Homo-oligomer: A and B are copies of this chain.
Amino acid sequence: MEDGIPIDMKAAIYSYNVWVGEVDGNRLRDLLDFTLYRAGFEVLNFMEHHFEPQGYTAIWLLSESHLAVHTFPEEAKAYIELSSCNKTKNALFAEIISPLGIKEVR
């Protein structure tokens, strides 16, 4: 410990990236909100954008870095990217999201 900063707070970013076959923005937002909560992330802020004629982006500002989702409806897929300084929570996020019914694609 040094100045209250835990030793495991060493600056590092762990990435979790996945392409999924879900493009409904509201459904993705709800699933990701739930996954963040279950993995123990703290959401500090949020923004989203619905593109015309289609497409959706949502970004969560976390105590532990950030999460983003971008949909590409023209190709029936979306890109989810979690960048976090907390390795344990990142692993939990990956574990929790897989059985939630979002099909992984490439």
| Alpha-carbon gap, A3 to B55, bound state (A) | 14
Q: Is the interface of A mostly helix, strand, loop or mixed?
A: strand
Query: Does any Cβ of B come within 8 Å of A8's Cβ?
Result: no
Query: Does any Cβ of B come within 8 Å of A34's Cβ?
Result: no
Q: List 14 A-B contacts (CB under 8 A).
A: A4-B53, A9-B74, A11-B74, A13-B79, A44-B49, A45-B47, A57-B61, A57-B65, A59-B61, A65-B70, A66-B68, A68-B83, A70-B83, A72-B85
Q: Name A's B-contacting residues (CB within 8 A).
A: 2-5, 9-11, 13, 17, 44-45, 47, 49, 51, 53, 57, 59, 61, 63, 65-66, 68, 70, 72, 74-75, 77, 79, 81, 83, 85
